[in-house]
A = this chain, B = another copy of it.
Amino acid sequence: MQGIAIAPAHQRGLADRYQRVRALSERLAQPLELEDCVAQSMPDASPVKWHLAHTTWFFETFVLRRVERNFRVYREGWAYLFNSYYEAEGQRIARDQRGLITRPTMAEVIDYRHATDERIERWLALDVAPRWALALLELGLHHEEQHQELLLTDVQHLLAQNPLAPRYVKTTVAESAEPERRFIAHVGGLVSIGHEGRGFSFDNEHPCHEAYLGPFEVADWLVTNGEYRAFIEDGGYRRPELWLSDGWALARREGWEKPLYWLERDGEWRRFSLHGELALDMNAPVCHVSYYEADAYARWAGARLPSEAEWETLAREEDGNPQLLDLGTFVPVTKAGAQGLFGSAWNWTSSAYAPYPGFSPASGAIGEYNGKFMVNQLVLRGGSCFTPQGHVRATYRNFFHPHQRWQVSGIRLARDKRSASLS
């Protein structure tokens, strides 16, 4: 929450934004059957009902409890169910048991949401909100946007378990253009990394600091399904020299031979998506690959993944029109012309998720938001077609474990820049 500077005049804007963000979460659940909202398909994923309740618990706990006179919890016992990982907020059910909590029902959770919204809105309607409280509210909105993306990735994973291959939406998907395969070069040197100045940011984007980079170049396009298929056909999943050791062991153990959600049916490559099963668009960006696969692909292609500092350095310049969440298309698409660094699919970077020099988390439970996860994960940048509009920025740091594949994670290549000419 560093760097938050909310002028008193923004309070009304924040109230509007609160309504829009909260409404979007419920809208995302609308195409689902009630049954779909209860199940948890793996420990990394959560039920839709849980997402809707947990984001509400966040506002109740971190905002209302601190600003309401005579605050009372909405229901005794629910904090135990809807606290995700905040040790300072007490015990909670094991992460992999969330699908067993059939009560409160979906209807009760929706009531919880609306009751909480009313309380927040009543409070915001007063003139007296302190800046720190508005900052927590803003944090809660960004938090909810993160859960909107997770809700979609988790629903996709759940529906993918069902051999009937149910669809979340019935819309059709436009065909991808073939990307121009162009690299964007940078001379390197001392660059400034991290967030500063105005606008919201998470604590892990701070402090802004200097870093030194050699000359490099980063691809303007995301690796396509077609390119990735060539990697597979060239034995990519059978050549240990392309892989990190941990990745190779995992891929053998799990029998990986293709990205998550790809399937071969009658000799044709297809993929499961929120649109149901689709023919694989060979010009569209590949996604649902792990870090291990992204890294192996890059090695095969004679390139490497960008570092997060390289990515951010180029992204600061960018002024594009990325493919973010639009409720119509739930797969990455390659548009015509220059692609830019944002949107479509998250970019695995080569950077371990670590604190920036001088980083210190907030005190109290909110300090657990990001800092305690700074080990064993890799940074991803740029957002995806599941990321809500306005959520991502050049300094934004997403992070997942190297084996995880259920996010909309793709591959962008980078290279050391040795000569002056573009590749």
Contacts and interface: CB of A to CB of B under 8 A. Distances in A.
A416 B357 CA distance: 8
Contacts of A244: 372-375
A373 B97 contact: no
A77 B164 contact: yes
Contacts of A101: 161-162
Interface in A197-222: 209-214
Interface string A94-121: 0001011111111000000000000000
Mostly, the A contact residues are: mixed
Interface residues of A, number: 68
A355 B37 CA distance: 43
Given A240-B87, A402-B376, A158 B245 contact: no
Interface in A147-164: 158-159, 161-164
Interface in A225-270: 240-241, 243-248
Interface stretch (A28-36, A55-63, A387-395): A28-36
Contact of A97 (B49, B161, B209, B210): B161
Contact of A103 (B35, B41, B368, B375): B35
A244 B104 CA distance: 32
Contacts of A164: 77, 81, 103-104
Contacts of A103: 33, 35-36, 162, 164, 166
Contacts of A13: none
Given A105-B35, A214-B357, A41 B100 contact: yes
A245 B18 CA distance: 30
Contacts of A295: 375
A102 B358 contact: no
B88 A241 contact: yes
Nearest to A211: B212
| Residue of A162, A190, A367 with most partner-chain B CB within 10 A | A162
Contact of A402 (B97, B357, B375): B375
Contacts of A241: 87-88, 367-368
Nearest to A364: B241
Q: Lowest 10 A-B CB distances belong to which pairs? A: A352-B352, A87-B240, A35-B102, A212-B212, A245-B372, A100-B161, A36-B102, A38-B38, A103-B166, A35-B38
